[in-house]
Structure 1
Amino acid sequence: MRPHLFTLASAIFPLLPSALSAAPSLILHGGKVITVDEKFSIHQALAVEDGKILAIGSDAEVTALKGPDTQVINLEGKTVMPGLMDSHVHPRAAMTEFDHEIPVMETIQDVLDYIATRVKATPEGSGIVVSQVFITRLKEQRYPTRAELDSVAPKHPVSFSTGPDAMLNSLALQMNGITKDFKITDGGPGKVEFDPKSGEPTGLLREMGRFVKVKQVSKAAPTPEETYARTKELFRDYNSVGLTSVCDRGASPDSIARYESMLKKGDLTVRMRCSHTFGTGGMWRTVEQSIDKVIEHPLTKGDDMLRIIGTKIWLDGGMLTGSAYMRQPWGVSQIYGISDPAFKGTLNVPPDKLRQMVDKVTGAGLQFTAHSVGDGAVHELLDAYEEVNAKRSIRDTRSCITHSNFMSKEAVERAAKLGVMMDIQPIWLHLDSRTLLAQFGQDRTRWFQPLKTIFETGGIVGGGSDHMQKIGSFRSVNPYNPWLGMWVAITRKAKHLDAPMHPEEALTREQAIRFYTINNAKILFLEQTAGSLEKGKAADLILVDRDPLTCPMDDLPQASVLKTWLGGKLVYERK
C-alpha cells in the first residue's frame, strides 16, 4: 500500500491495527475493574496479551477482542485491582522459625514462660535470645526486668532484644563486661541505663549491639537450599494476600544473590526492589568505599523484576524500644526504662557525615533512605536533603524517609517541596498507639503518621509493613496483610484503644488503595510498569472476593484474594 493510501485507510479504519494484532491471551469481564489511573477510573473488563494490559473498557468492547485461544473468565461481579505493593519488608523473616516455632507473647509472663522452655532445650551457659517482642505490645507496657530474666534463666545469658535496644540478665551483663564502670569509647552511639540508687546497670542497653554477644545453640544452620525454599514459600504467601511487588529495605549481598538465583529459575513471584545496606561507622573513606561497591553493582541498572534502587541506613533508634531520636526529651519513663530527663534518643550518624552519604548516593542517581522514626531524626534527614538539593536536585532519585512516624507540619511541607518520599507502616499505629499515647499524650502524637496531610500537601507516601519475622500475613511480627494496613490507614483504629488515633489524619478508601499501589510504584521506580491497570502496563493484577470501595469497613481486613497474576502469569490461586 502506498503511503498516502495507508494514511487514508488509517483514517477510515482506526481499529484496523488492533484487528490485525494477536488476540488477547486472557479476558476478564463481568466485574469491577479498579484501574487506579490518574482519574481512578472504574471499568467492567480488561484484556491481557504478552504479559501486558491490552485493553480496558466495557464488557462489549473487551469481549469483542476474543480470539479462538483466549481464556475468558467471567468475574461474576467480583473486583479486579492492580497488584498491591509493600514498600518495606525484610524477607529474611522467612528463617525466623527455622529452628523452632515461636509463640505469640502478649505479657511478661508469656516472655518468661518462653525463656523457661528454651532453658530446658538449651545447654547450661548457652545463650537465649528473645527477638522483636516489643514492649509497646505487651500488656504490662514495659521491659522484663533483669531480676525477672534471672529468675527463669540464672545459668543462661539472656538477651531480650527489641531491635536496637535490649534487656540483659545478670549473666549476660557479666559475660559482656557491662558493669557500673562501663563507658563507650569508640565514638559510636549507645547508652547503658543505670539504677539511680545503686549505680548498677539495670540491664537495659540502647544501640549497643556491637558490644553484646549472646551466642545461641540451635540445630544445624539452614543450608542455602533450605533458605531458598523458605524464601520462595514466603513470596508465595505475599502473593496470596495480593502483593506483587515488595522492597527489601535492608538487602545484603547474600539476599540479593538469592533473588538473582530465584529470577533465573523462574521462582521470583514478586517484583523485587532492594535498598542495599552499608556500614556507617568508622572513617568517611571506609564508608565511601562501601557505597562505591553498591554503586558499581550491576543490579543498580536492573530490570522491572529485580533492581537495587538505592541504599538504606539506620539513623536513629526505635519508638517501640525507647530510643527514637526526638526533638524534645522522651521524659523519665517507667515504660521504657528511661531515667535521664534530658534523654532525646539516639542519633547514629552525625549531621556532617549524613550529608556526605546523601550526597554520594544521590549523586550516583540512587535513592537514599534512612530508618528515621523520631521527629528529630526526620528533621535531621530533611536538613541533609536540603543541603544536597541546594547544589543538585534530588527529586529524581526518589529520596526517601523510612518509617517517618513522628513528623511535624513543617516536615510534611519540606518533604513535599523537595520531592522527598516516605514509606510508612500503618500497623505500628494499630499495635503501638496505646503505649505511645501513654508516653507522649495527644499533643505529641498529633503528627504521628500524618497520612492525610501528606496527601493533601502533595507528598508521596507509600504503605509498608516492616515485616520482620515469621511467615503468615496476620501472625507475622509486623503483619504484612495489606488489607489490614488499608483498614488502619482509613479508620486509625488502634488495639486496646476506645477511640481512633487522631482520625483527622485518616485516608479515604481511594487514597488507601493508592497508598498500596501507585504511590509505592513511584517510590520504587515502578510507576511506568505497574501500580495501575492501564494499556501497555504489566498485567500485575488481583481478583478479590469483595469491593474494597464499598464493603463494610470492618470486613476489609478479611478481604480474600482469589487469584494473583504477575506479568500476566498466574502466581496464586485460592484453592
Structure 2
Amino acid sequence: MDIEGKRGIMPCRRQFGAWRETAGCLRQVKNNNYEEPDNMNLLSNLVLGGMTCLLLVLPVLAQEADLVLRNGVVWTVDDNNPRGEAIASLGDKIVYVGSDAGVEQYIGPDTRVVDLGGKLVTPGFNDNHVHFESTGRLLYGLSLLDISDQAGFVGRIRDVHERYAPGTWIVGGDWSAYETWAAGDIGEAGRQVNPDDLYGNLFLPNKEMIDDFTRDRPVLVRRFDRKVYLANSAALERAGIGPGTPDPPGISVERSAAGEPTGALFNPVSGAVESTVLVRDNVRTLFRNLIPEPSRDQRIAETLEAWKKMASVGVTSYCDITSNPVYVDIYREMREKDLMTARVRYRPPLDKWEYMSGLGIRIGFGDEWIRFGAVKAWIDGIMGNSSARFYEPYTHNPASRGIWRDIMFPFERSPDNPEEMQSRLERLALDADNAGIQLTVHAIGDEANGYLMDMLERIIEKNGDKDRRFRLVHAQVMTDRDIERGGRMKIVAEVQPYHTSDDMRWMEERIGRDRSRGAYAFRRLWDSGAIVSFGTDSPGTNASRYFLNPMLGLYAAVTRKTLSGQPEGGWFPQEKITIEEAIRAYTLNTAYAGFEENIKGSLEVGKLADFVILSDNLLTMDPDDIKDVAILMTVVGGKVVYEAQ
C-alpha cells in the first residue's frame, strides 16, 4: 500500500529536518558568541536567536486539522499518490493524505477524528448532467414514474397535496413509465403492451379518483409519454373544458356517456406506443399560460430537497442544465446564507452566449461554489420515444429515422427546416467558441453524433486548435469512425452510464443488434483518447427515471447489466470499464470537463475537501453488488453535510 504522506505545509519526511534546522540555528548563535565573557548576554542571545529560528520554522509544522479520517482505504484518484490510510482537512482544503502515523501530527484537542474501520474514502462524486429544476420538483413534488394503479396514483397525489401550499398546482407525474417495458427485463421478455396499440393498454386514471380531496387545487398530471394527461375538475374548469364545450384544438377529451369529461386528455399520435416519433404536446400548450410559476419559497424548498438528496448519495458537485435564470439568484441567496451543500456549474442555453460574453463570462468564470462558462444546445431527440436521429430507419419503425430538434426548443417540436437549424447551431457555436465559452451539445443517435463531429472539425479549422474540451452530451450511439474522431479531437464524452442499464431493455428491438454495438461504448471511447465523464441526467426523460445515486452508474459501467442482473456476463461486455476508471470518470474526469481539475476531483493536498465514506470497498467487492453500496458520510468544503444514522 502506498502510504507516503503528504502535508499541507511540508512533507512529513522533512519534519525532523526542520527540527535539525532549529537546532543548527541555536548552535550557530552559540558559536557566534563563543568569546563573549558575559554569560547573561550569551543566554539572552541564545534565547532570542532560538525564538527567531522557531518562528521561522513554525509555518512548516503541522496545523491542527478540523477533520481527520484514519484507519481506512483512501482512494485518491491521484496518480502520484493513489492510496492512503488517512486524510485530514483544515477549513475547506485538504492538508494531508497518507499514513495513519503521519496524520497524528494533525490531531489536536478540537479535531474531529473518525475511525474508518477499514472503510473506503473517495473524492466526492461530480455529476456531469443534472436537470436541477425538474430534479428538485420531482423530489419535493410529484413522481408517478413507478405508478400504474389507482392506489399508488391516489396516494402519491394525496401526499403532495398535503405538503404543498394551498392553491399550488400539482403537475408532472409521468405515470406508467415502467408499465410498457419491465424495469428489470431485457429484450422481448420485458414487453408488456401490444406494440401495435396507438395508446397502449395502460393504466388510465380519471378525475373521480382525486377530486374529493383536490377540489380547491388544480391538478394536471401526465403519462410518461405525454400522450395522455389527467386533469381534475379544478384544472378542467380553468381550461374551459366542460360537458357542453367542444374539444380544444388538437386534443381529444374523454367523456362519459352523459358527456361529462372524465379528466383524461389525449394528444394526437401516429405510430405505436413505443414508436411514436414525437407528439405535439397540445395539452401542455393549452395549460401553459394557466399554470402560474412556482413561488420563490417553493423553488427554494425544492432546491434544498435536491441538495439533501445529493448529500445522501455522495454528490458534492453537479452541472445544472436547468437554463432557468431564476436559479442563479437562488444559488446566490443560498450561498450568502451558507446553505449550499453542493457545488454547481451552471449551463445556460447556447443562444445566451452573447449576453454572457458581454458580461465578461468565459470558461471558469465564478468561484468554487457557483461557476459559469459553458453553454448547452440540443440537436436530436431521445431513445425513450424513438426520436433520436439515425442514419438508417428504426428497426421497429421503418418510416422514421428520428428527428432533428430545434436547439432552443427541446420539448415542443421538430424544426420545420433542419438545414436552417443546423446552420444556426454552427454559427452560434463558432461565435461562442471564439469568445472563449465552452460548448456542450446533446446528441443521441449515430447521425446526430456524426454531425457534431463534422461541426467540431470545422470549428477547429476556423477557430484554431485550443484547449476547448468540447462536451459531446450523452454520446449514446456512435459509429466506429466517430469514436475515433472524438478521441483524436480530445472530446469530453459527457455520458450517463445508468442509461445503459435502462435502455438495454429495448435498444436492440428499436435499432437492431449491429447498431446497438455502438451504444454506450465506454471502453472504446476511453481507449480512443476521449475523456469519459459520468453523471446521471437526473431526473430522467419521459420514459425513465434516472436517480442521482452514483452507485447505479458505477454498477452499469462495470457490469453492463440491468438492475436485476441481466444479461449474464453483461450487454456487449467488451465495453465494460474497470471500477478504478469508473470512479475517475465520476470524479476527476468530470472536474476536468469543467476546467476544475486543479481544485477538485482527486484527494490531494491543497484541493477542496470534498470526499465521501462508503459502506463497502468498491475496489475489491463483487461488481454485481455495487448498486447496493451506501454513503456513510459526505464532506463538502471540509464540512460534514450528510452522515448516515
Query: Normalised by the size of structure 1, how large is the TM-score?
Result: 0.80
For residues 494-530 of structure 1, the C-alpha deviation after alignment (integer angstroms, 9 at most, x for no partner) is 2574342100000111111111111111112221111
Are 1:493 and 1:501, in contact at CA under 8 Å, matched by a contact in 2? yes
**Distance (whole Å) between structure 2 residues aligned to residue 574 and residue 52 of structure 1:** 23
**Distance (whole Å) between structure 2 residues aligned to residue 530 and residue 425 of structure 1:** 20
Residue 510 of structure 2 corresponds to 439
**Distance (whole Å) between structure 2 residues aligned to residue 525 and residue 100 of structure 1:** 35
How far does residue 35 in structure 1 lie from its aligned partner after superposition? 0.6
Are 2:450 and 2:482, in contact at CA under 8 Å, matched by a contact in 1? yes
Residue 381 of structure 1 corresponds to 452
**Distance (whole Å) between structure 2 residues aligned to residue 68 and residue 30 of structure 1:** 19
Are 1:48 and 1:54, in contact at CA under 8 Å, matched by a contact in 2? yes
SS in 1 for 2:612: strand
Are 1:467 and 1:477, in contact at CA under 8 Å, matched by a contact in 2? yes
**Distance (whole Å) between structure 2 residues aligned to residue 203 and residue 79 of structure 1:** 44
Which among 131, 142, 149 is matched to residue 174 of structure 2?
131
Residue 185 of structure 1 corresponds to none
For residues 385-404 of structure 1, the C-alpha deviation after alignment (integer angstroms, 9 at most, x for no partner) is 11010122465232111111
Are 1:372 and 1:404, in contact at CA under 8 Å, matched by a contact in 2? yes
SS in 2 for 1:530: coil
Residue 284 of structure 1 corresponds to none
Which among 355, 372, 384 is matched to residue 293 of structure 1?
355
Residue 26 of structure 2 corresponds to none
Are 1:146 and 1:169, in contact at CA under 8 Å, matched by a contact in 2? no
Residue 345 of structure 1 corresponds to 403
C-alpha distance 209-421 of structure 1, shift in aligned 2 (>3 A): farther
How far does residue 167 in structure 1 lie from its aligned partner after superposition? 2.3
Are 1:355 and 1:387, in contact at CA under 8 Å, matched by a contact in 2? no
How far does residue 365 in structure 1 lie from its aligned partner after superposition? 1.4
**Distance (whole Å) between structure 1 residues aligned to residue 274 and residue 118 of structure 2:** 60
**Distance (whole Å) between structure 1 residues aligned to residue 486 and residue 610 of structure 2:** 30
C-alpha distance 30-254 of structure 1, shift in aligned 2 (>3 A): same
For residues 414-468 of structure 1, the C-alpha deviation after alignment (integer angstroms, 9 at most, x for no partner) is 1122121111111111112121122223211101011111111221011111112
Residue 320 of structure 2 corresponds to 248
How far does residue 373 in structure 1 lie from its aligned partner after superposition? 0.7
Structure 2 residue 504 is matched with structure 1 residue 430:
no
Structure 2 residue 331 is matched with structure 1 residue 259:
yes
For residues 305-349 of structure 1, the C-alpha deviation after alignment (integer angstroms, 9 at most, x for no partner) is 101231111210111101100121114x3xxxx4x5353433435
RMSD: 4.0
**Distance (whole Å) between structure 2 residues aligned to residue 467 and residue 308 of structure 1:** 20
The code of the aligned residue for 1:228 comes to: I
C-alpha distance 22-129 of structure 1, shift in aligned 2 (>3 A): closer
Are 2:144 and 2:156, in contact at CA under 8 Å, matched by a contact in 1? no
**Distance (whole Å) between structure 1 residues aligned to residue 101 and residue 131 of structure 2:** 44
Which among 136, 146, 150 is matched to residue 94 of structure 1?
136
How far does residue 352 in structure 1 lie from its aligned partner after superposition? 2.1
Are 1:406 and 1:449, in contact at CA under 8 Å, matched by a contact in 2? yes
SS in 1 for 2:341: coil
Which among 330, 338, 357 is matched to residue 394 of structure 2?
330
Structure 2 residue 483 is matched with structure 1 residue 412:
yes
Are 1:144 and 1:167, in contact at CA under 8 Å, matched by a contact in 2? no
SS in 2 for 1:239: helix
C-alpha distance 21-169 of structure 1, shift in aligned 2 (>3 A): closer
C-alpha distance 235-298 of structure 1, shift in aligned 2 (>3 A): farther
Identity %, equivalent residues? 27
Structure 2 residue 192 is matched with structure 1 residue 140:
yes
Aligned ranges for residues 2-41 of structure 1 at < 5 Å? 13=21, 16=57, 19-20=60-61, 22-39=63-80, 41=82
The code of the aligned residue for 1:245 comes to: S
Residue 261 of structure 2 corresponds to none
The code of the aligned residue for 2:358 comes to: E
Aligned ranges for residues 136-535 of structure 1 at < 5 Å? 139-140=191-192, 145-146=198-199, 166-168=226-228, 175-177=248-250, 194=270, 206=278, 208-209=280-281, 213-215=285-287, 222-278=294-350, 287=351, 290-297=352-359, 301-331=365-395, 333=396, 338=397, 341=399, 343-348=401-406, 350-393=421-464, 395-468=466-539, 477-495=545-563, 497-499=566-568, 500-535=570-605
How far does residue 102 in structure 1 lie from its aligned partner after superposition? 2.8
**Distance (whole Å) between structure 2 residues aligned to residue 487 and residue 266 of structure 1:** 34
**Distance (whole Å) between structure 2 residues aligned to residue 99 and residue 457 of structure 1:** 42
C-alpha distance 446-29 of structure 1, shift in aligned 2 (>3 A): same
C-alpha distance 530-116 of structure 1, shift in aligned 2 (>3 A): closer
**Distance (whole Å) between structure 2 residues aligned to residue 298 and residue 263 of structure 1:** 22
For residues 353-409 of structure 1, the C-alpha deviation after alignment (integer angstroms, 9 at most, x for no partner) is 221121122112121112211111111111111101012246523211111100122
How far does residue 483 in structure 1 lie from its aligned partner after superposition? 1.0
Are 1:28 and 1:46, in contact at CA under 8 Å, matched by a contact in 2? yes
SS in 1 for 2:487: helix
Structure 2 residue 619 is matched with structure 1 residue 549:
yes
**Distance (whole Å) between structure 1 residues aligned to residue 470 and residue 491 of structure 2:** 5
**Distance (whole Å) between structure 2 residues aligned to residue 67 and residue 150 of structure 1:** 61
The code of the aligned residue for 1:549 comes to: L
SS in 2 for 1:175: coil
Which among 564, 569, 572 is matched to residue 639 of structure 2?
569
How far does residue 83 in structure 1 lie from its aligned partner after superposition? 0.6
Residue 110 of structure 2 corresponds to 69
C-alpha distance 402-540 of structure 1, shift in aligned 2 (>3 A): same
**Distance (whole Å) between structure 1 residues aligned to residue 330 and residue 196 of structure 2:** 36
How far does residue 145 in structure 1 lie from its aligned partner after superposition? 3.3
Are 1:434 and 1:495, in contact at CA under 8 Å, matched by a contact in 2? no
**Distance (whole Å) between structure 1 residues aligned to residue 246 and residue 341 of structure 2:** 44
SS in 1 for 2:537: coil
**Distance (whole Å) between structure 1 residues aligned to residue 533 and residue 275 of structure 2:** 37
Residue 5 of structure 1 corresponds to none
Q: Compare 379-388 and 142-151 and name the one that shifted more.
A: 142-151
The code of the aligned residue for 2:605 comes to: K
How far does residue 136 in structure 1 lie from its aligned partner after superposition? 5.4
**Distance (whole Å) between structure 1 residues aligned to residue 275 and residue 155 of structure 2:** 19
Listed as ranges, the gaps of 5+ residues in structure 1 are 1-8, 180-190, 279-286, 471-475
The code of the aligned residue for 1:95 comes to: R
For residues 126-149 of structure 1, the C-alpha deviation after alignment (integer angstroms, 9 at most, x for no partner) is 998653837555742659734868
Are 1:316 and 1:325, in contact at CA under 8 Å, matched by a contact in 2? yes
**Distance (whole Å) between structure 2 residues aligned to residue 36 and residue 213 of structure 1:** 48
> Max radius of gyration: which structure?
2
Are 1:146 and 1:203, in contact at CA under 8 Å, matched by a contact in 2? no
SS in 1 for 2:117: coil
C-alpha distance 449-21 of structure 1, shift in aligned 2 (>3 A): same
SS in 2 for 1:390: helix
**Distance (whole Å) between structure 1 residues aligned to residue 336 and residue 631 of structure 2:** 27
For residues 156-200 of structure 1, the C-alpha deviation after alignment (integer angstroms, 9 at most, x for no partner) is 9998565xx742589999523479xxxxxxxxxxx986479xxxx
Q: Compare 90-99 and 137-146 and name the one that shifted more.
A: 137-146
Are 2:277 and 2:402, in contact at CA under 8 Å, matched by a contact in 1? no
C-alpha distance 410-40 of structure 1, shift in aligned 2 (>3 A): farther
Residue 88 of structure 2 corresponds to 47
How far does residue 79 in structure 1 lie from its aligned partner after superposition? 1.5
Q: Compare 39-48 and 435-444 and name the one that shifted more.
A: 39-48
**Distance (whole Å) between structure 1 residues aligned to residue 220 and residue 304 of structure 2:** 32
**Distance (whole Å) between structure 2 residues aligned to residue 346 and residue 137 of structure 1:** 29
Residue 166 of structure 2 corresponds to none
Listed as ranges, the gaps of 5+ residues in structure 2 are 1-16, 23-55, 162-168, 184-190, 209-217, 231-240, 253-266, 408-420
